[in-house]
A and B are shown apart, each in its own frame.
Chain A
Amino acid sequence: MSAFPPRVYYTCSYVPPEAIWAAGCQPVRLLPDGPAPGECDAYLPRDFCPFVRAAFWQLHRMGEPAAVVLTTCCDPMRRLADVLQHHRPELTVLLLDLPRERGPRGQERYAAELERLQSSLSAWAARSGRTGLAPGSGRTLAQATGTFDRLRHLLRAARGAMPAPAFHRLLRHLLTCHPEEALTLLETGRGVAAPGAHAATEAAAPGSTEAGGAAAGAPGVMVITSHPVDPHALEVIEKAGARVVAEDSCLGERLLDVAPGSRDAGELAHAYLERPPCPRMELPGERLAYLEDLACRGGARGIIFLALKFCDNLSYDLPWISGRSLPVLLLEADWGVSSSGQFLTRVQAFVETLLPE
């Protein structure tokens, strides 16, 4: 097997990295470092999802002829697929049709999409002459799922052992590196070459303050957002004196809570569609009940609603969540710029209201 399988970028938590891995490619979660610059306006408008703009810009600037897997999860993602195909034709863009129905019909539909994904990626890797698998050494989907089940298991354990900001810095590294390297890192815990990951594991050590871990007795909060949560935002929340005890984001429960043991595309489709719902998948009432349960299990005293600007799917949740028993703080932010002084001041003021009299 090649040590350097071709890299396949993906943006959505409903894309199973195990399907990419089974096709002999390395799944790389696209997590842009910062906001897109003004030049991006020539391709996507300003009043548009800042995460999608940042993702576009990263792919647009990329030198390698990579493949990208997107889903039809929202309007901006669908347009991202169009814009990439038109303005960067050398990229291979695969758009998965993500159903909203989670029953048998939706699962059957999504299973067909996952099969198409695997065969397209295998063909792409072979065409590019960079296949990650030697002839006759095919990796089955069950084997690939086994790797990622183990990874998710270890990640859940790591999450319980470290402050949220440190966990997310570690996660960002693990989601972009070779899956076997990620497993080694989590199993050994130390001796990591990657500086970001090393800092993250160091920060997890008892007594460390590097990650901005909250003080004992700090009130627990639940963070809700529709995108991968920004580690800087989590740092600010913990610096303000709160402890993140529950998280509804693309890198929170939605990433880790996947039923293990899928052996084929049908089971994988079932496992992914039955995960905690993202705001896009919502049926009235279901998501609200899930969020209340999540907050209750974590012992949250308040909710911080991190609204990425121009996210329609998440914005409609706010009035319902605000009307429930827990106090809610709404913070609007652009992608990658949520660590301002004003942000800290507002969180501090909110945390004060959560402290016991």
Chain B
Amino acid sequence: MASLSPRTRRRALHYALSHAWVLSLARAGLGLPRRPPTEGYLTEAVRWGLGELAAAASRRRPVVWCNVALPSEFVYGLGAVPIMPEMAAGFAAAWRGAPDFIVRADGDGFPPDLCSFHRCALGLAREGWLPRPDAVVATSLFCDGAKKFLAHCSRLFGVPFHLIDVPYEDGSRAVARVAARLQEVAAALQAGGHGFDARHLPRSLELSNRARQHYLEVMRLRRHRPAPWRGSEALSYASVFFMSFGSPGGVRIYDALRRALAARVAGGRFAVPRERWRLLWLHFRPFYPGKLMPFLELEHGAVIAAEDMSHLWWEQLDPGRPWESLARKMTSHFMWGPVERRLEVMLRLARDYAVDGIVHYSHWGCRQSTGAVSILRQAAVGAGIPFLNLDGDCIDPRNGREEQARTRLEAFLESLPERRDAFAAGSGG
């Protein structure tokens, strides 16, 4: 496979995703069972991901490129497949491919100041690794780069671009405006052909609610001390969190995850051998393989008990009022609006998950998150919670500064008081 040219590899992947028999063969070869066992959330996630990619690659369903802040329920509700190139960049990083794609984007004239999620995604788009979009939909949530990046992609592929401009302040007027705009975009997509159909919307919202119920239980189980799930793994499921709500796969994945965590808690099988500290992680993690996360959680027993980016912030959706429900999900996003919303989430998670410290991972190029660090720090320290800001890069290992990050993390952990109730795995909750 390595000897094949990128073009041939890309074509082979598209062919595989477009033909069910290839996937069946691969599943058999990889030993992936058709019926997942209790701890089958990974299997469910792989099945869901491959299934959606196959539907997109074979053009069985229309494809919408969007940013992570567009509710995936909206896309599934139109009978389409959501492709979030920012999340694809995470996969490229996990497979050690990000630097090549970033170099490709740099060659097109994009400066290295820009967020590496978007530069890597640009490279992926230019190299043809992602299923071609039928339309691009962006929201103004929650960073500038995503909107500009997606607008650029729409020009690149010559497909319509739709922007959903979300007012900065939450409230009934904001909800009404966004709901009207969502309807407009849905109407424009349906009028443009490709098989978009909004009749799937109530079903999508029902599925989302079912997944949400499972996820709420996952969040409740994660409050257990010792923690049943490592936050580093939870953050690796960011693409599932952003892209699966509203699909049948989302329900299956979170049901399997809920059952797996419940079984771990019941059986006393916890995330790390000896939980010494519990941390709240703000923003994403480095997605490329590295030593930072094992160093933190496995070597030092500092388990990431909660993350702001994968906490569930929205209320139950109303399938009878889909546009308002989706609009409310968008306008209430904790990363949008004044920083007080994010502060409230940070302090609430810190309390609910009984954390000993907070780590903010300052991803290179992410102005909307790093610009608030001085305020987050002030609030955390004011609440008596130690706070560490860690500079790095989620996508590009060349900019990851891993050694420096490890040194700083080590010093931070040394400054934390040892928990009196530190647990060893198997000691029960």
Q: Report which A residues bind B (CB closer than 8 A).
A: 42-45, 47-49, 72, 74-76, 78-83, 85-87, 95, 97, 99-101, 105-106, 109, 279-280, 282-285, 307, 309-313, 315-316, 318-320, 322, 330, 332
Contact A315 to B364, CB < 8 A, known contacts A97-B169, A99-B165: no
A43-B374, A86-B375, A87-B374 in contact; A318/B163 too (CB < 8 A)?
no
Residue in contact with A101 in the complex, picked from B165, B370, B378, CB distance below 8 Å: B165
Bound-state CA distance A255–B352 (Å) is 50
Among A45, A87, A105, A319, point to the contact of B177 (Cβ < 8 A). Answer: A105
Q: Is the CB of B167 within 8 A of A45?
A: no
Q: Which of B107-115, B190-198, B314-322 sits within the interface?
A: B107-115
Chain A residues whose CB sits within 8 angstroms of the CB of B373 once the complex forms? 45
Residue of A86, A309, A322 near B378 (CB, 8 A) is: A86
| B163 and A316 contacting across the interface, CB-CB below 8 Å | no
Knowing A42-B374, A75-B143, A284-B151, say if A315 contacts B165 (CB, 8 Å).
no
Is B311 positioned at the interface, with any CB of A under 8 Å from its CB?
A: no
- The answer to whether A45 and B113 touch across the interface, beta carbons within 8 angstroms, is no
Q: For A310, list chain B residues within 8 Å (CB).
A: 113, 365, 367
Which of B109, B362, B368, B374 has a CB less than 8 Å from the CB of A75?
Answer: B368
Q: Which of A43, A109, A284, A322 has a CB less than 8 Å from the CB of B161? A: A284
Q: Count A-B contacts at CB 8 Å.
A: 123
CB-based nearest A residue for B167: A97
Chain B residues close to A by CB (< 8 Å): 108-111, 113-115, 140, 143-145, 148-149, 151-152, 154-155, 161, 163, 165, 167-169, 177, 180-181, 338-339, 362, 364-365, 367-368, 370-375, 378
CA distance A49 to B165 in the complex (A): 23
> What are the residues of chain A within 8 A of B181 when measuring CB–CB?
105
Q: Complex formed: what's the CA distance from A328 to B3 in Å?
A: 39
Q: How far is the CB of A318 from chain B (nearest CB, A)?
A: 5
Task: Say yes or no: A312-B165 contact (C-beta < 8 A), given A83-B374, A283-B151, A284-B155.
Answer: no
Closest residue to B366 on the A side, CB-wise?
A: A75
Bound Cα distance from A153 to B151, whole angstroms: 35
Between-chain CB contacts (< 8 Å), 27 pairs? A42-B374, A47-B364, A78-B371, A79-B367, A79-B372, A80-B371, A82-B371, A82-B372, A83-B375, A86-B374, A87-B374, A95-B338, A97-B167, A99-B165, A100-B165, A109-B177, A282-B151, A284-B152, A284-B161, A285-B155, A309-B113, A310-B113, A312-B144, A315-B111, A316-B151, A318-B110, A319-B152
Contacts of A309 in B (CB 8 A): 113
In the bound complex, residues from chain A placing their C-beta under 8 Å from that of B115 are 312
A97-B338 Cα distance, complex, nearest whole Å: 11
The answer to whether B371 touches A45, judged by C-beta atoms less than 8 angstroms apart, is yes
Chain B residues, Cβ within 8 Å of A283: 151, 161, 163
| CB-based contact A312/B161 at 8 Å | no
The 3 closest A-B pairs by CB, nearest first: A79-B371, A316-B148, A75-B367
Contacts of A99 in B (CB 8 A): 165, 167
Q: A78-B368, A310-B367 are in contact. List 15 more A-B contacts (CB 8 A).
A: A74-B144, A78-B371, A82-B372, A86-B339, A95-B168, A99-B167, A100-B163, A101-B163, A284-B152, A309-B113, A312-B115, A313-B144, A315-B110, A318-B111, A319-B109
User: Which listed residue (A76, A95, A285, A307) contacts B371, Cβ 8 A?
Assistant: A76
CA distance A332 to B110 in the complex (A): 12
The contact of A44 among B108, B151, B163, B374, by CB within 8 Å, is B374
The residues of A that contact B368 with a CB separation of less than 8 Å are 75, 78-79
In the complex, what distance in Å separates the CA atom of A83 from the CA atom of B343? 13
Task: For the complex, give the distance between the alpha carbons of A322 and B108 in Å.
Answer: 10
Residue from A42, A48, A319 having most chain B Cβ neighbours under 10 A: A319
Known A82-B339, A307-B111: A280·B370 in contact at CB below 8 Å = no
Given contacts A95-B168, A312-B115, contact A318 B109 (CB under 8 A): yes
Residues of the B chain whose Cβ atoms lie less than 8 Å from the Cβ of A109 = 167, 177
Nearest chain A CB to B130 CB, angstrom units: 18
A48: chain B residues at CB < 8 Å are 367, 370-371
Whether B371 contacts A316 by the Cβ 8 Å rule is no
Give the docked Cα–Cα distance between A318 and B163 (Å): 21
Residue contact A315 to B371, C-beta cutoff 8 Å: no
Q: Which residues of the other chain, B, contact A316 by a CB distance below 8 angstroms?
A: 110, 114, 148-149, 151-152
Q: Is the CB of A319 within 8 A of B110?
A: yes
Q: Which residue of B lies closest to A72 (CB)?
A: B168
Query: Which one, B113, B145, B167, B339, contacts A47 given CB within 8 A?
Result: B113
Q: Which residues of B contact A49 (CB under 8 A)?
A: 367
Q: Taking each of A78, A101, A285, A332, which has the highest tally of chain B beta carbons within 10 Å of its own beta carbon?
A: A78
Interface centre among B163, B364, B367 (most CB of A within 10 A): B367
Contact assessment for B113 and A44 in the assembled complex, using a CB-CB cutoff below 8 Å? no
Q: Tell me the minimal C-beta distance from B143 to chain A in angstroms.
A: 6
Which A residue sits closest to B142, measured CB to CB? Answer: A75
Tell me the bound Cα distance from A318 to B106 in angstroms: 12
| Min C-beta distance of A328 to chain B, whole Å | 9
Contact check: which of B154, B168, B365 meets A97 at CB < 8 Å?
B168
In angstroms, how far is the closest chain B Cβ from the Cβ of A304?
15
Set of chain A residues within 8 Å of B109, measured between Cβ atoms: 318-319, 322, 330
**Given the complex, which residues of A lie within 8 Å of B169, measured CB to CB?**
97
Smallest CB separation, B132 vs chain A (Å):
17
Give CA–CA (A332, B111) in the complex, Å.
Answer: 10
Residue of B nearest to A288 (CB): B155
Distance A310 CA – B144 CA, assembled complex (angstroms): 11
Smallest CB gap from B168: residue in A = A97
**A75 and B144 contacting across the interface, CB-CB below 8 Å:** yes
Interface centre among A44, A74, A315 (most CB of B within 10 A): A315
**CA–CA, A44 and B149, complex, Å:** 24
- Least CB distance from A51 to B in Å reads 12
In the complex, A311 Cα to B110 Cα: how many Å?
12
Nearest chain A CB to B71 CB, angstrom units? 19
Closest residue of chain B to A280, judged by CB?
A: B144
Q: How far is the CA of A312 from the CA of B114 in the complex (A)?
A: 6
- Among A86, A99, A100, chain B packs the most CB atoms within 10 A around the CB of A86
- CA A10 to CA B163, docked complex, whole Å: 27
Q: Assess A315 versus B113: contact at CB under 8 Å? Given A47-B365, A47-B370, A86-B378.
A: yes
Chain B hits for A80, CB < 8 A: 371
A296 to chain B, nearest CB (A): 21
Residues of B within 8 Å of A313, CB to CB, are 144, 148
Chain A residues with Cβ below 8 Å from B114 are 312, 315-316
Which B residues are in CB contact (< 8 Å) with A81?
338
Q: Which residues of B contact A319 (CB under 8 A)?
A: 108-110, 152
Partner of A312, one of B145, B154, B338, B362: B145
